[in-house]
């Protein structure tokens, strides 16, 4: 746990907080950016995460909501750790699933960069674009088609992503088929493909993952339409780069894998990269540590300054130009288990490659979109933050390549410690490099 805390740049001493402050992290819309405001009961990490999180060029529309539907009711657990339910209740999903007030909450923000077609407050994706792409007939739905629209309508995300129950009703076959695809991908189907989904699993699929995918897919359609309107009708549009910013351990990898799978089954080529893929090599991290002796925030990988920014820019730029058939782009990978957990970049021979034309790039990371605060504010929290704060400004080179943002925030940053520990234990148990 100490290593994890060090890599996060915070003390491993638990921080207590009054129950009334448990969900005090709120999002306050500002134009043209979104600022997430910190609780006064904050560590250095809290201040950086919440004060510095101004998402660049993110104009309205901004799709914001608190979702209490992403974890088992009444349990303080990772939202992705629930097991299938054996309940045989015959009541409809819309009546037997309620939103528990005591479960962990996520804040979801979807916003577009200035210049894209729906970058004005009144221009959410148009109704002429389906809520989900057409798909061929598939196996039986995991929720009866007659119940599915009402169940999806219970999602606190639906309105925020510009959809209504009527939209889901119109495209119910696609929602059902893609829901089944996700259930299979996530391992929720029993022997013979029989659905064995409980409340948490159904919510994850239909009230979280699919609404977010719907928003992302529709932004891709608008992006393509803009390219065609600009005279590129006969050419492949540049890929849409979606930045996915979320705290460590909150399940963003599963979200991204689900989005990538859904894009793939709907015949779109998706490339996935993480800021973790761009960490400095072990040698580079050692040089950073030696250049800043005693600064625990730069001792290990994780904070601003510990990434190879030129490598990230080169990779994202190459992906944005991967519009011709046969184009190949190598995607860097990082081995977190190397050097007893200090990590090192994997050899280029082990990097996967994506073949163009690429349609969408999913770029995820815990600190994506963060912007520096005033140096006095950083120093007031912790003098060691000053260098990290300075380095943070350099990450605009990445942010400028992002076209749209999906932002996930948990209500209580303390949960990040617990989830990171779970991830570390799982990684060591499976000898996984990441």
- Report the distance separating Cα 303 and Cα 7, nearest Å: 8
What's the pLDDT at 249? 76
Whether 215 shows a pLDDT value over 70: the answer reads yes
pLDDT in tens, 398-434: 999 999 999 987 777 777 777 777 777 776 776 666 5
pLDDT 10s digits, 55-86: 333 332 233 333 332 332 222 223 333 222 23
Structure-model confidence comparison of residues 15 and 359, the more confident one: 359
CA distance 236 to 321: 10
pLDDT, position 352: 97
pTM of the model: 0.74
Residue 99's pLDDT band, with cuts at 50, 70 and 90, is: very low
Instruction: Indicate the range of 19-23, 151-155, 160-164, 399-403 predicted with least confidence.
Output: 19-23
> In this predicted structure, which of 29-43, 102-116, 252-266 has the lowest mean pLDDT?
29-43
What length does the chain have? 434
Tokens, residue 140: 């039986």
């Amino acid at each position: 746990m100490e290593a994890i805390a060090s890599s996060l740049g915070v003390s491993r001493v638990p921080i207590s907080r009054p129950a009334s402050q448990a969900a005090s992290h709120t999002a306050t819309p500002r134009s043209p950016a979104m600022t997430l405001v910190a609780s006064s009961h904050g560590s250095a990490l809290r201040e950086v995460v919440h004060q510095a999180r101004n998402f660049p060029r993110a104009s309205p529309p901004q799709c914001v909501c608190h979702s209490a539907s992403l974890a088992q009711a009444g349990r303080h657990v990772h939202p992705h750790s629930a097991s299938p339910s054996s309940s045989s209740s015959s009541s409809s999903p819309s009546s037997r699933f309620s939103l528990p007030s005591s479960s962990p909450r996520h804040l979801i923000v979807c916003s577009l960069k200035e210049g894209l077609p729906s970058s004005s407050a009144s221009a959410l994706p148009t109704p002429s674009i389906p809520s989900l792409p057409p798909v061929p007939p598939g196996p039986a739905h995991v929720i009866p088609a007659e119940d599915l629209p009402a169940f999806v309508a219970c999602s606190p995300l639906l309105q925020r992503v510009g959809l209504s129950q009527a939209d889901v009703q119109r495209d119910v076959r696609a929602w059902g088929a893609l829901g089944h695809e996700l259930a299979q991908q996530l391992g929720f189907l029993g022997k013979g493909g029989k659905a064995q989904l409980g409340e948490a699993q159904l919510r994850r699929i239909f009230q979280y993952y699919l609404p977010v995918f719907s928003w992302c897919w529709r932004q891709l359609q608008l992006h393509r339409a803009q390219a065609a309107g600009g005279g590129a009708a006969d050419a492949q549009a540049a890929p849409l780069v979606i930045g996915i910013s979320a705290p460590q351990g909150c399940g963003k990898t599963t979200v991204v894998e689900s989005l990538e799978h859904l894009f793939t089954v709907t015949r779109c080529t998706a490339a996935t990269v993480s800021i973790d893929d761009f960490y400095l090599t072990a040698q580079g991290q050692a040089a950073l540590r030696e250049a800043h002796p005693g600064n625990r925030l730069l001792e290990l990988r994780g904070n601003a300054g510990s990434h190879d920014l030129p490598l990230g820019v080169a990779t994202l730029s190459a992906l944005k130009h991967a519009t011709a058939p046969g184009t190949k782009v190598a995607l860097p990978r990082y081995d977190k288990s190397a050097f007893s957990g200090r990590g090192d970049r994997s050899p280029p021979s082990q990097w996967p490659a994506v073949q163009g034309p690429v349609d969408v790039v999913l770029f995820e990371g815990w600190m994506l979109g963060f912007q520096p605060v005033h140096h006095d504010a950083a120093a007031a929290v912790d003098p060691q933050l000053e260098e990290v704060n300075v380095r943070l400004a350099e990450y605009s080179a990445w942010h400028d390549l992002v076209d749209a943002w999906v932002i996930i925030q948990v209500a209580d940053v303390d949960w990040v410690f617990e989830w990171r520990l779970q991830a570390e234990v799982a990684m060591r148990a499976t000898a996984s490099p990441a």
